[in-house]
Amino acid sequence: MERKGPQWKKWYEDYNVGVKIVAVIIATLIWLTVINITDPEKTVVIYGVPVTVTHEEAISDLDMVYEVKNDKYVNITISGKRSVVGNLSADDFKAIASLKELSKVNSVPIEVSAKQGSIARKVTIEKQSMQTLMVNVEQMEKQNFDVHVEYSGSAASGYVANGYTLSKNTISIKAPTSILKNISKVVAECELEGNSTTFTKKCPLVMYDNDGNVIKTGHVTMSSKKVQVTVDIAQEKEVPVELGKIGNPPEGYEVKSTLLSTNKVKLVGSSDVLATIDKITLSDDIDISKETENYSKTIDLTKYIPVGITISGGSNVTVEIEISKLATKKITIKSSNIKIINEDNTNAKVLDSVKFTVQGDSDAISKLKTSDITATINVEKLATGKHNVVVQLTLPDKVIVTEEVKVPVEIKEKDVTATGKE
């Protein structure tokens, strides 16, 4: 029997809807099961998310600066579907440290999040390697510094930089206190560029620390980065420095050696004046007449040069004079070794040896032999009889005799014997 009518139709429709619902539920469960099998949850580490510091005005408005003390990158651990997290990198995340949140211990919390909301809804940030950014905060201060000029390169051959003038002798530097304390000098570095005439140019300013290293930092503001320098270029001439007459030390002493700390200097000035100077001779400042020990004196060379001429590389020279006591030695020359000259018609006989003392350089005295000395007497015009005759001594270099040496001599007439033929 057929079932027809409204009641049957309603039952059929309700039954059909229920089946569809159950089917959807079953399908969903099957899909979820498949997804969980093929695209499971996964935890990964994302390395090197850069930390961006924001709201710097919170520091700068207080006329202060900051410096990050620890790493500016953070590693994060995230979880989510493998299909999602497997395609993510540091570029998909941001790490923000707002200086508005600066604590009393100079730390700033780091907030990490995904850049896109679609990613943020699909992943969970489980942890991060660094929770806070540590910063060092310093007060900015101003200080004035003198400007010095240093040259690089060289002027034209025969010319040299002979002084300079600056458009500004001082500059103001604003920087953290720690940097200001470390500034040793501010230098205008000027390239000479082979110039032979005076020139003007703008030269960059460079800061140096106490160790001579260039200070480079982004927290320094200079009132000027360059300064105008006018460099005077003058001619240069090298001349010898000589030691003039220095006299003698007291009796019994000698000058062993002399030494100048430099034997030449470079003079700077106009070519006309330089042409009149060939050398510098030192003499007036040195007096060794009473010196029995080594003598030393520093002399200012500027007193020896004309006005308008300067000395490059220092104007002082040191004179070193070695003074030593003369060595002595007693000498005896036998009568037979004394040469007689100008006997004429007489016979001369040296009656005794001659004894005397010589003095001189220690080396010369130690090497001196009697055979190195020649002794001579002149008997010309001496009458017969006995005489004390001055001995003329010929001595080696650096050896002298300080006394008059005499020797007894007897003069006799020669015997004249007539001869004839047998």
pLDDT in tens, 300-359: 999 899 988 999 888 899 999 999 888 999 999 999 999 999 887 788 999 999 999 999
> Same domain, yes or no, for 231 and 153?
yes
At position 262, the amino acid (one-letter code) is T
pLDDT at 94 over 90: yes
User: Looking at the domain assignment, is residue 381 inside a domain?
Assistant: yes
Q: How many domains does the chain have?
A: 5
Reported as type and span, the H/E element at residue 6 is helix 6-38
pLDDT in tens, 252-264: 888 888 999 999 9
Q: What is the CATH number of the domain that holds 146?
A: 2.170.120.40
Look at residues 198, 213, 235 and tell me which one is the last residue of a structural domain: 235
Query: What pLDDT does 345 receive?
Result: 76
pLDDT at 52 over 80: yes
User: Looking at the domain assignment, is residue 418 inside a domain?
Assistant: no
State the pLDDT confidence band at 174, using cuts at 50, 70 and 90.
very high
Look at residues 325, 344, 365 and tell me which one is the last residue of a structural domain: 325
Query: What pLDDT does 422 receive?
Result: 37
Spatial CA neighbour of 337 closest among 358, 348, 353, 355: 353
> Same domain, yes or no, for 123 and 46?
yes
Query: What pLDDT does 419 receive?
Result: 44
Query: What pLDDT does 119 receive?
Result: 93
Query: How much is the average pLDDT of 134-143?
Result: 92
> Same domain, yes or no, for 267 and 353?
no
Query: How much is the average pLDDT of 88-113?
Result: 93
> Same domain, yes or no, for 319 and 334?
no
Query: What pLDDT does 261 receive?
Result: 93
Q: How many of the other CB atoms lie within 10 Å of CB of 409?
A: 22
> Same domain, yes or no, for 343 and 360?
yes
> Same domain, yes or no, for 250 and 298?
yes
State the pLDDT confidence band at 418, using cuts at 50, 70 and 90.
very low
Query: What pLDDT does 72 receive?
Result: 92
Q: Which domain holds residue 124?
A: 41-130
Q: In the structure encoding, which two tokens stand for residue 362, read together? A: 């220690």
> Same domain, yes or no, for 10 and 23?
yes
Q: Cα–Cα distances in Å, from 137 out to 179, 221, 277?
A: 13, 17, 63
Question: SS3 of 131, please?
Answer: coil
User: Looking at the domain assignment, is residue 420 inside a domain?
Assistant: no
Q: What is the CATH number of the domain that holds 86?
A: 2.170.120.30
> Same domain, yes or no, for 31 and 48?
no
Query: How much is the average pLDDT of 105-121?
Result: 93
Look at residues 302, 325, 348 and tell me which one is the last residue of a structural domain: 325
Query: What pLDDT does 7 receive?
Result: 66
User: Looking at the domain assignment, is residue 28 inside a domain?
Assistant: yes
State the pLDDT confidence band at 22, using cuts at 50, 70 and 90.
low
Q: In the structure encoding, which two tokens stand for residue 205, read together? A: 């300013």
How many CA atoms are closer than 13 Å to the CA of 261, on its beta-carbon side? 12
> Same domain, yes or no, for 69 and 151?
no
User: Looking at the domain assignment, is residue 419 inside a domain?
Assistant: no
More confident residue, 73 or 285: 73
User: Looking at the domain assignment, is residue 422 inside a domain?
Assistant: no
Main-chain dihedrals φ then ψ at residue 23, nearest 5 degrees: -60, -40
> Same domain, yes or no, for 118 and 203?
no
Spatial CA neighbour of 105 closest among 135, 144, 65: 135
Query: What pLDDT does 413 receive?
Result: 85
Looking at every residue in the chain, the average pLDDT score rounds to 88
Are the C-beta atoms of 205 and 186 separated by less than 8 Å? yes
> Same domain, yes or no, for 186 and 230?
yes
Query: What pLDDT does 133 receive?
Result: 93
Q: How far apart are CA 201 and CA 225, in angstroms?
A: 13
pLDDT at 35 over 60: no
Query: What pLDDT does 12 receive?
Result: 57
User: Looking at the domain assignment, is residue 88 inside a domain?
Assistant: yes
> Same domain, yes or no, for 105 and 143?
no
Q: Which range is least confidently modeled, 6-15, 103-112, 180-189, 386-395?
A: 6-15
Reported as type and span, the H/E element at residue 48 is strand 41-54
pLDDT in tens, 349-397: 999 999 999 998 888 899 999 999 999 999 988 899 999 999 999 999 9
Look-up: residue for tokens 């004390």?
388
User: Looking at the domain assignment, is residue 421 inside a domain?
Assistant: no
Q: What percent of the chain has pLDDT over 70?
A: 90
The H-assigned helical ranges of 138-208 are 177-182
State the pLDDT confidence band at 25, using cuts at 50, 70 and 90.
confident
